[in-house]
Structure 1
Amino acid sequence: MKRKLMAAIGVATLAVGATACGTDDNGNGGSGSGGNTDSITVWLMDGSAPDAWIEELNAAFEEEHGVSVNVETQEWNGIQEKITTALSEDGTVDVLEIGNTQTVGFAGTGGLADLGEFEGEAWNATMLESATVDDTLYALPWYGANRVVVYDKGIWEEAGAEVPTTREEWIEALELIEENTDAEPIYLPGQSYYVMGGFVADEGGAFAVQEGEEWAGALNTPEAEAGMEFYARLQEFSNSPTDNDEASPQQSTEVVPQGDVASWIGLGWEVGGAIAAIEEQGDEADFGYFPVPGKTADQLGHVFLGGSNLAVSERAGDQDLAKEWLRMATSQEWAQKFVDENNGGVVPNRTDVTASPEEDTFAAAMVQSAEVGYLPPLTTGWANVEVVPNPIKDLMTKVLNGEDYTAAAEEADAEITTRINRD
């Protein structure tokens, strides 16, 4: 039976604290020994959870169940291969954090335990869909995150620019900055394709569409072309090359701190990195934040909604205890504590949990945008599209360099269609 992914939200990139509690002797993860009658092993990604939350949660779990919890911190780089290996072995890991788009792939290999007993909880509906394959629940939502516009308050004040509520007001603000200051109005790499995808979604388009049992690239459409056209309008205000993305160089630590950048589009962990880098130079960051504007004032722009799920290994050393830890960690009580520890800076996994961030913060802008999050194509083959060379990134560079959109889109769609239907 063809696997059906109900939804996929994506790998979260919001760092919300450093995880150090209960690591192995090396302090950086390692293979671990899995669960047994005395302990369970939990893999969490670096920066995913505040120390205080982990420590308090594990103390409560250990008191209730009489077993210790060994938390091993993992790095995102290379995690796909590491999890694949762990899920093929007995007792390596009991509970593990996985990016939302990874869930369907790991479930398809038989590596994740059925979590049907958790159905019916007050889960965030969109996040829950990312963990459901063939109507079976293989993971539980943990948190979500999305991008917002970060701006330098001093530069915007100097330019006489105001926070925009529409796309056109956004362009007008960038024009004022260009005319009245020496700053780069916006740093926008040529290949930030998830940012561009939000503009495509604003127009009602998508990277790919499902046609029966197959998928097809959908960039050669009026909607996708309109989204790319607006991206190009923004990119004209940037000094960035057209053939790089936000990670090469890292925009938050290698670009923003090095010059007068009036604004950029980023995630929470990037803001933290930028502030730290600026302070290391002896300066002080003065950032403001606003959601990506939409075409009209009554509709914010779409943003890619990232996130992480928590799952239980099918070959866990103690699957029952693993599920009990999962039950506690994702409960209303502990989910609310998780949001509170992060100062409201994550999208909650449950409808009975509230995020109330302080005004004029990244978190406040992010939570506003969460309601208009968009998703990548909902299939395991999407991972094949994102590998190098990414055809969407290639299209963006070609168009920004003046090549014909239709010809570039036809070529990209052919490659997307081939890759996305590949197992």
Structure 2
Amino acid sequence: MRRRLLALVCVSACLLTGCGVMSDSAAERRTVTVWLMQHSASQDFLDRFTEEFEREHETLDLDIRIQEWTGVGEKVQRALRGDDPDGPDVIEVGNTQVSAYAESDGLLDLTLESMRDWGRDDWLPGLAEPGRWGSQQYGIPWYAANRVVVYRKDLFRAAGVTPPKTRDEWLETTERLDTGDTQGIYLAGQDWYTLAGFIWEEGGELATEGSGVWKGALDSEAALRGMDFYRRLQKLGDGPVDADEEHPPQAGVFAEGNVAQIVAVPGLVRAIVQQNPALEDTIGYFPVPGKEPGRPGAVFTGGSDLVVPAATDVEDAAVEVVAALTGARWNTDLARTMNYVPNKAELADSVAGEEGLEAMAAGAARGRATPATPRWSVVEADNPIKEYMTKVLTGADPEKEAERASRRITETLAFE
């Protein structure tokens, strides 16, 4: 948004020297300020993109500024309110954050471009759906990452089993692996993102919306079936029932060498191998199994969308940047460079040959996001889902605990 300052400089130059001495290209040149998050893209990728984009758009300059995730929410809100005179024209945001920003009327509506030019119907649902507010598309999918099953090939061979194709097979396989000092699976009791996938696979929801009112839905029959599957799988290992996957970090637990499987993003394997290099050639991946053969299970899809502040004064140029970064050419380049899933299932071939990415891309086709309400972040901060899971895993009545957790979710979502 530095164009206002540039305009003043140009006016001053005209007054001093006469506008006729300025070239048309200099007068028309504009800068697009882009905020991207730390570690989302390598510097090499950004350098290549900037060079090519500026060559193809001779009157545009890119000013890419890297932001840290910590504290970025308030910084983005200030920019959307127009409080930052040197603010961004394009912003990378978490896919589940879009609704909070769109609610304040601070984002440009990109529905027309999405439907007419960018193939909205082909985007991964887990990225596309949270990018909408009402019927309008504000967030444009950039990249995705989701959980797969990370497993020990040597332990599978020793047990005489192969990667399962269905959830029932997964339980049977894990039970055979869970013997002696080997945990069939390490699954922390409060890994609620993994539980969400099991609930969605059963046809349930974390929360539902009707007539603008959101309600917790963990007490539906489908959601209860998802929790029951989680309970049956979790007990085939020694994961703590009162902690999530980061307490302790499951990468460290897997690195100890006596765990056959974990549910994680493929990128976690780097941390595992750093702690135990001997495991590098023993690790494999497969999509989280679904109820039916040949169809991966539903999973939570994380990732980023690109948005354009409504206050930008280079709207058309900002849209050009979004179109380029999310288009097939640069989206597949980013996926290969950073080990991401591209924003469309049809682009999955771009990561072919990389086992972890192939498993992740297969699962991403059935990816979902958390409920598209700005209040969901408040639910996560208090997180009654974690407490509910622990209660069920320690023997409490699932229906009663699900009803209690659902009421808390409803109260949180309704609070103004």
Identify the TM-score tier after normalising by the shorter chain. Answer: 0.7 to 0.9
Deviation at 1:392, TM superposition (A): 0.8
**Which secondary structure does the structure 1 equivalent of 2:407 belong to?**
helix
In 2: Cα distance, 1:36 partner to 1:171 partner: 63
Question: For residues 285 and 77 of structure 1, do their structure 2 counterparts lie closer, same or farther at Cα, with a shift above 3 Å needed?
Answer: farther
Superposition map of 1:221-260 within 5 A:
221-252=220-251, 254-260=252-258
In 1: Cα distance, 2:207 partner to 2:255 partner: 36
Q: Give the structure 1 partner of residue 91 of structure 2.
A: 96
**1:332 aligned to 2:328?**
yes
**Which secondary structure does the structure 2 equivalent of 1:260 belong to?**
coil
Q: Give the structure 1 partner of residue 22 of structure 2.
A: none
Q: Give the structure 2 partner of residue 24 of structure 1.
A: none
Query: Does the CA contact (< 8 Å) of 2:195 and 2:230 recur in 1?
Result: yes
Q: Give the structure 2 partner of residue 131 of structure 1.
A: 131
Q: Give the structure 1 partner of residue 164 of structure 2.
A: 164
Question: For residues 162 and 379 of structure 1, do their structure 2 counterparts lie closer, same or farther at Cα, with a shift above 3 Å needed?
Answer: same
- Gap regions ≥5 residues in structure 2: 7-29
Deviation at 1:285, TM superposition (A): 4.9
Superposition map of 1:243-392 within 5 A:
243-252=242-251, 254-279=252-277, 284-316=280-312, 318-342=314-338, 345-350=339-344, 353-359=347-353, 361-388=355-382, 390-392=383-385
Q: Give the structure 2 partner of residue 84 of structure 1.
A: 77
Question: Counterpart of 1:271 in structure 2: which amino acid?
Answer: V
Question: For residues 241 and 106 of structure 1, do their structure 2 counterparts lie closer, same or farther at Cα, with a shift above 3 Å needed?
Answer: same
**Which secondary structure does the structure 2 equivalent of 1:271 belong to?**
helix
In 2: Cα distance, 1:325 partner to 1:360 partner: 29
Question: For residues 228 and 136 of structure 1, do their structure 2 counterparts lie closer, same or farther at Cα, with a shift above 3 Å needed?
Answer: closer
Question: Counterpart of 1:70 in structure 2: which amino acid?
Answer: D
**Which secondary structure does the structure 2 equivalent of 1:413 belong to?**
helix
Deviation at 1:351, TM superposition (A): 6.5
Q: Give the structure 1 partner of residue 155 of structure 2.
A: 155
Q: Give the structure 2 partner of residue 111 of structure 1.
A: 106
Q: As a proportion of its length, which structure holds more helix?
A: 2
In 2: Cα distance, 1:195 partner to 1:352 partner: 25
Question: Counterpart of 2:47 in structure 1: which amino acid?
Answer: E
Work out which of the residue numbers 40, 49, 55 in structure 1 matches 2:32. 40
In 1: Cα distance, 2:311 partner to 2:397 partner: 52
In 2: Cα distance, 1:194 partner to 1:167 partner: 17
**Which secondary structure does the structure 2 equivalent of 1:264 belong to?**
strand
Q: How many residues align?
A: 385
Query: 302-311 or 315-324: which moved more?
Result: 315-324
Deviation at 1:322, TM superposition (A): 2.5
Deviation at 1:214, TM superposition (A): 1.2
Question: Counterpart of 2:198 in structure 1: which amino acid?
Answer: F
Deviation at 1:80, TM superposition (A): 2.0
TM-score of the pair, normalised by structure 1: 0.83
Q: Give percent identity, aligned residues only.
A: 36
**Which secondary structure does the structure 2 equivalent of 1:220 belong to?**
coil
Query: 126-135 or 402-411: which moved more?
Result: 126-135
Question: For residues 116 and 341 of structure 1, do their structure 2 counterparts lie closer, same or farther at Cα, with a shift above 3 Å needed?
Answer: same
**Which secondary structure does the structure 1 equivalent of 2:99 belong to?**
helix
Q: Give the structure 1 partner of residue 13 of structure 2.
A: none
Query: Does the CA contact (< 8 Å) of 1:33 and 1:93 recur in 2?
Result: no
Q: Give the structure 2 partner of residue 212 of structure 1.
A: 211
Question: For residues 91 and 419 of structure 1, do their structure 2 counterparts lie closer, same or farther at Cα, with a shift above 3 Å needed?
Answer: same
Deviation at 1:93, TM superposition (A): 1.9
Question: Counterpart of 1:73 in structure 2: which amino acid?
Answer: I
Query: 350-359 or 326-335: which moved more?
Result: 350-359
Work out which of the residue numbers 64, 71, 87 in structure 2 matches 1:71. 64
Question: Counterpart of 1:341 in structure 2: which amino acid?
Answer: T
> Residues 366-388 of structure 1: CA distance to partner in whole angstroms, max 9, x if unpaired?
12112222332232222221112
In 2: Cα distance, 1:49 partner to 1:84 partner: 23
In 1: Cα distance, 2:159 partner to 2:63 partner: 52
In 2: Cα distance, 1:401 partner to 1:411 partner: 16
Deviation at 1:226, TM superposition (A): 1.4
In 2: Cα distance, 1:35 partner to 1:248 partner: 49
Query: 132-141 or 168-177: which moved more?
Result: 132-141
Deviation at 1:288, TM superposition (A): 0.6
Deviation at 1:292, TM superposition (A): 1.0
Bigger Rg, which one: 2
Question: For residues 36 and 405 of structure 1, do their structure 2 counterparts lie closer, same or farther at Cα, with a shift above 3 Å needed?
Answer: farther
**1:397 aligned to 2:406?**
no
Deviation at 1:102, TM superposition (A): 0.8
Question: Counterpart of 1:48 in structure 2: which amino acid?
Answer: S
TM-score of the pair, normalised by structure 2: 0.84
Root-mean-square deviation (CA), in Å? 2.5
In 1: Cα distance, 2:75 partner to 2:368 partner: 28
**Which secondary structure does the structure 2 equivalent of 1:305 belong to?**
strand
Deviation at 1:258, TM superposition (A): 3.2
Query: Does the CA contact (< 8 Å) of 1:302 and 1:373 recur in 2?
Result: yes
Question: For residues 110 and 60 of structure 1, do their structure 2 counterparts lie closer, same or farther at Cα, with a shift above 3 Å needed?
Answer: same
Question: Counterpart of 2:161 in structure 1: which amino acid?
Answer: A
- Gap regions ≥5 residues in structure 1: 1-31
Query: Does the CA contact (< 8 Å) of 2:100 and 2:373 recur in 1?
Result: no
Question: For residues 145 and 239 of structure 1, do their structure 2 counterparts lie closer, same or farther at Cα, with a shift above 3 Å needed?
Answer: same
Query: 352-361 or 406-415: which moved more?
Result: 352-361
Deviation at 1:194, TM superposition (A): 1.6
Query: Does the CA contact (< 8 Å) of 2:341 and 2:357 recur in 1?
Result: no
Deviation at 1:283, TM superposition (A): 5.7
Q: Give the structure 2 partner of residue 13 of structure 1.
A: none
Query: Does the CA contact (< 8 Å) of 1:289 and 1:360 recur in 2?
Result: no
